[in-house]
Amino acid sequence: MPRILRPLPRRASARLLFLVALLCLAALPPGTGRAAAPDAPAHNFVSVRSAILYDLDNDAILFEQNADERIPPASLTKVLSMFLALDHISAGHASFDSVVGVSRAAARAGGSRMGLRNNERTSLEELLMGMAVSSGNDASMAVAEFVGGSAPAFVNMMNVKARRLGMRDSRFRNPHGLPAQGQYTTARDMLTLARAYLKAYPWALRFHNTQALNHQGRISWNKNPLLGQYPGADGLKTGWITASGYNLIFTASRGEKRLLAVILGAPDDRVRGSEARRLLDAGFQVCGNQAVSVAAALTLMPLENYRLNPRKNAREAARQQAARARPDMRGQGKAVGNGQHKARKGARQRASRQGRQSAQHARAHAG
């Protein structure tokens, strides 16, 4: 007589289904189910998906590697947003001292932040510093709403500006670079953007080479691994999301020579910093007639000789902020970095001016 199979109890059935689901997940390839950045091809000269190096003085591309591959821009998007904000100021529609109200949408922006709060009011200059130093998505949204009237209107301005600059292979969906369907750029287009930006506003580097920012007690630091670790490096912008990997627009000067470069799709922040340093060294060798080409120079530069510490900037920012908290240094401004001396000098001048005004006020009342 055949044996009758009885159904499993409900609890046992649930356990069995759970175990089957776990086995199915284990059988999937690593990374399945999330948008991971593709690995850089093994034969590349630099260990990133895409790169380009440019000699600003001679208007010449010195090196390129997959420079037209479409990759999400991540926070490199903020360079375009800052460009539009500076255009707005240059046209006389605002000033650095313009007071900007922070909306709920801006205050709630996720990812990297400078620490804005709903209904807070702060200067446009402070927001631009937050975009450059903190890579603040909250600051980017606040600036977009202020300059464009709304975030969608500002994004339309971004795409119009990109087309006018000749960025033919880029599309922007938001003002900060957080993941968005259909948002992409290329290393070549990012070079086009950075070149035009520095030509129009060379003094904007003061935002990008500031190493730390204290906004309402919230301290953030510049993630550019070259600042303070590569001689002559003074900009420009980092970016990261899972789908793109680690991105960087960077520039450095040596003597009268300035190089500008873009890296997209580094596998981690250490490789991003090391390859940026290596690429600059190769470029300066070519400019100094010490190598026939960047590619040739790179073959003689082992990556292990170019390690940078991506955590050094955070430690330096903490050290500087601790120093600024001392009684003899209080009230000397919020931003610190390569322009720290000027900030301190300006603070001393303001304090002296305020002291004279107070003395005059006291004498007037005493008389």
CA dist 249 and 235 (Å) reads 8
Catalytic residues: 75, 78, 135
Question: What are the start-end ranges of the H helices in 264-339?
Answer: 269-287, 294-299, 312-324
Q: Which two tokens stand for residue 177?
A: 């670079």
- Which residue in this structure is represented by tokens 């240094």? 329
Q: 128: which residues sit within 8 A by CB, 6+ positions away?
A: 82, 85, 86, 96, 139, 143, 207
CA dist 348 and 352 (Å) reads 6
CA dist 113 and 23 (Å) reads 39
CA dist 21 and 9 (Å) reads 19
For residue 33, the tally of other CB atoms under 10 A from its CB is 8
221 by DSSP, 3-state: which? Answer: strand
Backbone angles phi, psi at 194, to 5 degrees: -65, -40
Question: What are the start-end ranges of the H helices in 28-150?
Answer: 77-90, 104-107, 124-129, 137-148
- Which residue in this structure is represented by tokens 């890579």? 135
In the chain, the amino acid numbered 211 is Q
Tell me the CA distances in angstroms from 134 to 213, 228, 337, 359, one per residue in order: 7, 17, 13, 39
In the chain, the amino acid numbered 132 is A
How far from the centroid of its chain's Cα atoms is residue 279's Cα? 19
